[in-house]
Structure 1
């Protein structure tokens, strides 16, 4: 009898623990769309409803009258910063769509910043194009688990971005050009997040050129716990011969000289082989391989990389010409990861001149 009672008690405890864990993880909105009692509230922000408030959308007037497409977009002047959202939580950003001119200088010159839960410094600071899945300012239509990018610069990101108290987004026009801006941020409210839920962090780095024999950092050292999601990596080869023999190295939880995770080559890291091919898959691929410009990506979603104390991710610049040799090229990255807040500031963002030099050109002979 005692044994039966203990079994029943253990079963009840396990069931309760499973239920609590499932609630903490949140609803599976994609694979279980039929659950209607999640307690979530759906909201959306655009220029047609800049606060996302219920019943407040589409009131602006056009020549057709009130509510007839009166405020679909805004024109940004050079140097102007626009606030895209200021949301009181708890909640989760579910999707962001943006479009503007497909000009490479504009896509690399616009800077998206996001602050979570009243932290003083941004957790996201990245050129708009790179944040949305394209390097070099070049629109190359493709779809992955994180992004979908249309041929006319219809840009989407699908990574969930949880927050507990507040989410604020701005977009700064550092391109030096006047531009049109359309956007929409879709989110839910009343999400149940633990205090230490991972907030999305995104940084942009560029070295033009890289330093000889010094590995390019995809993720400079981060302390505390977190999860590495992946990178959109841009390469502009500055010399002849194959550039991609460099290995990715992931230094975890006390690693110093030698990493815990070590790859076998640059194209190998993004799941390709024997050189780079322009193919886009769900978690890996290359969306651009033209005129000496390469954009490739890798998303560690089904194969997670967690850290408990610290993490640093690098990639070597090694080429091949009848043997391995050290080389220097133009590398950039938009790197995505989750960690709690408060979190350390991001490394400094390169200025507009450094970001926009030598971008995509349809004529590689003339340069940019």
Structure 2
């Protein structure tokens, strides 16, 4: 039972047991261990909140079964499908974001020996955060796969290059979700690019090839509203675009979109390797006559989190970008 903490003064007259330590303070430049579980079990729910806006300054990591290599390494907000400064309501199965800034995830995360969850504070200020991790201690089958998540960002994407959401995952597993922020650096429509999944022995041609960016995120026709020529925000069990940031005519100069696509009912299974890419593609011109239309490769600001389960290996995740390349201006 806590006797000291951030609530010590308000609870002074009430004493032990009266919300003495509801939150933690992570000093600038330090790493705090949220959970250190020495048993087999399953993480079933994580709730965390903070009023800080620069969520890419806080890195969350998960380590399974005494492995020194993290299986999850990701900015805090992006892990909860909230990579932009604007936080929106998310009503999906594995991730919920509720008022005011309550980040929840329900990904099942089994472990056979141990689990360690950490947050690194890379900001110049101390971080105050509240959190709760719910788990069960229970036997875990030997063939259980481990939860993984990895972040990437390219700004700007070089012309005529594809963006890699997942770059050479190796092992046996299933891909279960994509989260992306998309900063548009051109005017006009930006979502003609195809998502492609290269499974196992695929080389030149992928097993899965989509039809457009908004189609991959389970929308269609530019994410437009049913009755007028405007973008439509949405959040559903398996897909959503919960946040759109619009230019303000002064300092916020670009449009930005926050999108998720969970492959829970339709996982992408792989036996040896997986790579997933998406194209940034718009139009040089738009003409009613399709024979006169031309695609325009875009140089947009793209970031993503890939979510998947696989057997546990010592292979390191793709490194995070440098601190200055994480932030969204």
Verify same fold: TM over 0.5: yes
**Superposed displacement of residue 138, structure 1:** 2.6
- State the partner residue of 1:293: 256
SS in 2 for 1:180: strand
**Superposed displacement of residue 58, structure 1:** 5.5
Is 1:229 matched with 2:176? yes
SS in 1 for 2:317: coil
> C-alpha separation between the residues in 2 aligned to 1:258 and 1:286?
29
Is 1:184 matched with 2:132? yes
Higher relative contact order (CA 8 A, sep 6+): 2
> C-alpha separation between the residues in 2 aligned to 1:102 and 1:283?
27
Structure 1 alignment gaps of length 5 or more:
1-56, 360-367
CA RMSD of aligned residues (A): 1.3
SS in 1 for 2:222: coil
- State the partner residue of 2:227: none
257-266 vs 146-155, which moves further: 146-155
> C-alpha separation between the residues in 1 aligned to 2:130 and 2:73?
19
> C-alpha separation between the residues in 1 aligned to 2:201 and 2:40?
34
Given that 1:90 and 1:193 are in contact with CA atoms closer than 8 Å, whether structure 2 keeps it comes out as no
Candidates 132, 135, 158, aligned match of 1:211: 158
TM-score, normalising length: structure 1? 0.79
Candidates 66, 69, 73, aligned match of 2:23: 73
- State the partner residue of 1:239: 186
Is 1:142 matched with 2:105? no
- State the partner residue of 1:220: 167
**Superposed displacement of residue 179, structure 1:** 2.5
Candidates 87, 92, 97, aligned match of 2:47: 97
> C-alpha separation between the residues in 1 aligned to 2:242 and 2:153?
19
Q: How does 1:117-156 map to 2 (within 5 A)?
A: 117-156=65-104
SS in 1 for 2:221: coil
Is 1:266 matched with 2:213? yes
SS in 2 for 1:65: coil
Deviations 1:260-282 (A, max 9, x none): 00000000001101112311111
- State the partner residue of 1:162: 110
Candidates 292, 311, 332, aligned match of 2:274: 311
TM-score, normalising length: structure 2? 0.88
Given that 1:102 and 1:138 are in contact with CA atoms closer than 8 Å, whether structure 2 keeps it comes out as no
Given that 1:81 and 1:170 are in contact with CA atoms closer than 8 Å, whether structure 2 keeps it comes out as yes
Given that 1:129 and 1:137 are in contact with CA atoms closer than 8 Å, whether structure 2 keeps it comes out as no
SS in 1 for 2:150: strand
- State the partner residue of 2:312: 341
Instruction: Quickly say closer, same or farther: Cα 1:102–1:287, change in 2 above 3 A.
Output: farther
Structure 2 alignment gaps of length 5 or more:
224-231, 247-254, 287-293
> C-alpha separation between the residues in 2 aligned to 1:290 and 1:178?
27
> C-alpha separation between the residues in 2 aligned to 1:249 and 1:159?
24
Given that 2:163 and 2:279 are in contact with CA atoms closer than 8 Å, whether structure 1 keeps it comes out as yes
> C-alpha separation between the residues in 2 aligned to 1:343 and 1:299?
26
> C-alpha separation between the residues in 1 aligned to 2:190 and 2:239?
19
Given that 1:92 and 1:191 are in contact with CA atoms closer than 8 Å, whether structure 2 keeps it comes out as no
Given that 1:102 and 1:152 are in contact with CA atoms closer than 8 Å, whether structure 2 keeps it comes out as no
Larger Rg: 1
> C-alpha separation between the residues in 1 aligned to 2:204 and 2:74?
29
Given that 1:58 and 1:68 are in contact with CA atoms closer than 8 Å, whether structure 2 keeps it comes out as no
**Superposed displacement of residue 172, structure 1:** 0.6
Tell me the matched-pair count: 299
